[in-house]
Amino acid sequence: MVELRDSESLDVGGQRVDGFLPIEDYAAIGDGRALALVGSDGSIDWMCLPTLDGSSVFAALLDPVRGGSFELAPAVPFEVRRFYVPRTNVLCSEYDTSEGRVRVTEALTIDPSQTAPWRELVRQVEGLSGTVPMRWRLAPRFEYGRASATPVTRGGRIVWRHRGLQLALQGWGTGEPSVGEGVVQGGFDVLAGQQAMLALVASDGVALPSAGRSEIERRLESTARLWRDWVGRASYDGPWRDAVERSLLAIRLLADRRTGAIAAAGTTSLPEVLGGKRNYDYRFGWVRDLSFTVNALLRTGMEELAHVSIGWLFDAIEKTHPRVDPVYALNGNVVRSQRTLPLAGYRNTAPVHEGNQAGSQLQLGGFGDLLETIWGYTQCGHLLAPEVGERIADTADLLCAIWRNSDSGLWELGQRADYATSKIGCWTALERVLDLAADGQVPARHVQRWRSERDRMRAFIDTQLWSDERQTYLMKAGSEALDCGVLLATRRGYVDPAGPRMTGTVAALSRELRADGPLFYRYSGMQNEENAFLACSFWMVEALALGGRADEAGELMDLTVALGNGFGLFSEEMEPGTRAMRGNFPQALTHLALISAADILAGCTNA
């Protein structure tokens, strides 16, 4: 099955500090419902069931003692080369030992119908040379480490039951398992040409399926084909094709294949800075991120997922109509609260959270995200249902009444203010609703009001959020702080990207918020609070490219793409100097910014 590598990571296995691996040492696998992180030493340290936003079964990522994990690796010292099967989310790890070489191929398999109500994690072992002793250990811990269960043997399988969730482990050629309190482990030798397999099946509320080895092997093969077929539909063929395809595959790991909901990240509470408190749960759907997602999908010809995601968005915002919440649960419900979990936290940086309080904030920029998404969707020829058009008009009317309010801004800050990103988002919303009304997609009942309020927004932005002295847009009214988020004004058509205002802003941001090489902080004053925010580098690429500086943009793009881990995956932030990844992982916003920057830059280069 493995023909060549489209990305590769080389590690000496087992390099943990206090039980923790570096975030960049993880690869992600998934099936469009659940996601797992596999470390460089063969340990699966993160997986929630039955879905990505469920409670954890493996959470050693956040607590090596209590979290639970699924280990599989040689029982002797090794080096490991890891790579995805080309254009898939199927992971291969080739272990080199003094005894020989062995390959482990693993995936969360996808049923060809893509409707199976269970999750299936497969770890296939193949001897390449010599005889390699292998060891494995499975220690699930339920509800974020708060509960364990004693495994029992049923029909040749080892089964754990916790409330409605059932886990069943099957093994072929993997030795006689030793069953202990909440733990099963074993060992076996694999010779060149031999194969062994472990398969963990999970089901919540339905019967556990039973499958033979040949059926599981076929499903593993078909899973690789499904990934290749899906990403093969992408139309992007520019200089950063490998990075774009890997980013699309990362986004697909975070997208519920049934509903179109897209999680902002696959994890919770990976800290923005070690020892800090900025630890958040990102396993929810942000309107902002969905806007970037639909834009990226449409840019790359991946319209099928864009259709489903738009449908999820319409269903979600109906629950808060005409208000637009910043964030919704993946099932479309509102999100208002969070709770603290009894885990130590990554690198002992607590707290660990489930839930997110951002849903209770007023974020006016979300109106712009929503209308930008809908407008871009209709620009591809799609027609809105009349009732959707009515709801959009209601939302525009509400925005006219509230846009002067202070809010929490793009970055969900506790201090409410008149943020530039929010006011530009408001302008975008009314600009787009006017376009939709002109196209007959939205009833033109209050066009004059929408137009006059849009013009008032521009007047406010151009006077209160612009500094003549510094020749830059400011982060918020009454402050001299700067914000990389204003770079998005170029994408939204608010400002001439080659004009003096954006040119001055780019210069100011490059001078004051640049962290290290291609890295940028989000906004002023955060150098001691968090690390560099990776999406900002790609937003700078966009601004430079649209401003006619394609050569500079290309150089920055190359440097930023190279910051991905050995698999081309990105977290939210990066530590300047050490280049260690920080924040939740894999991070949708970073990958979406990469896709958009690559497409815009390719267009500017070819123009």
What percentage of the chain exceeds 90 in pLDDT? 88
**What is the rounded average pLDDT for all residues in the chain?**
94
pLDDT at 258: 80
**At CB < 8 A and 24+ separation, what contacts does 160-165 make?**
164/204, 164/205, 165/49, 165/50, 165/57, 165/202, 165/203, 165/204
Tell whether the model's pLDDT for residue 9 goes beyond 80: no
Tell whether the model's pLDDT for residue 1 goes beyond 50: no
Q: How far is CA 561 from CA 346, 372, 583, in A?
A: 25, 26, 18
Domain tally for the chain? 1
Per-residue pLDDT, averaged over 586-597, amounts to 97
Tell whether the model's pLDDT for residue 104 goes beyond 90: yes
Q: 78-92, 146-160, 482-496 — which is least confidently predicted?
A: 146-160
What confidence tens digit (pLDDT) does each residue in 393-445 have?
A: 999 999 999 999 999 999 999 899 999 999 999 999 999 999 999 999 999 98
pLDDT at 5: 43
Residue 262 maps to a domain? no
Closest CA to 365 of 428, 310, 437, 317: 428
Gap between the Cα atoms of 369 and 37, Å rounded: 30
Q: How far is CA 26 from CA 44, 150, 280, 565, in A?
A: 9, 29, 19, 8
pLDDT at 574: 98
> What band does 8 get if pLDDT is binned at 50, 70 and 90?
low
Gap between the Cα atoms of 599 and 241, Å rounded: 10
Gap between the Cα atoms of 23 and 40, Å rounded: 10
CB-based burial label for 339 (10 Å; 0-12, 13-18, 19+)? exposed
What confidence tens digit (pLDDT) does each residue in 461-494 have?
A: 999 999 999 999 999 999 999 999 999 999 999 9
341, amino acid identity: L
Helix 287-299, helix 365-378: angle, nearest 10: 20
Place of tokens 């609703």: 433
Residues in the chain: 607
> What band does 4 get if pLDDT is binned at 50, 70 and 90?
very low
Residue 169 maps to a domain? yes
Gap between the Cα atoms of 118 and 216, Å rounded: 13
| Rg of the Cα atoms in the chain | 24
CA angle 112–286–573, rounded 5-degree value: 95
Per-residue pLDDT, averaged over 504-511, amounts to 98
Residue 107 maps to a domain? yes
**Host domain of residue 185:** 9-208+222-231
pLDDT at 155: 82
Tell whether the model's pLDDT for residue 14 goes beyond 70: no
Tell whether the model's pLDDT for residue 3 goes beyond 50: no
CATH code for position 150: 2.70.98
One DSSP character per residue, 456-503 reads HHHHHHHHHSEETTTTEE-SBTT----BGGGGHHHHTTSS-TTSHHHH
Q: 10-14, 192-196, 325-329, 512-516 — which is least confidently predicted?
A: 10-14
Residue 352 maps to a domain? no
Residue 136 maps to a domain? yes
pLDDT at 576: 96
β-partners of residue 442 are none
Indicate the SS3 state at residue 144.
Answer: coil
> What band does 11 get if pLDDT is binned at 50, 70 and 90?
low
Residue 97 maps to a domain? yes
Residue 132 maps to a domain? yes
pLDDT at 451: 98
pLDDT at 237: 93
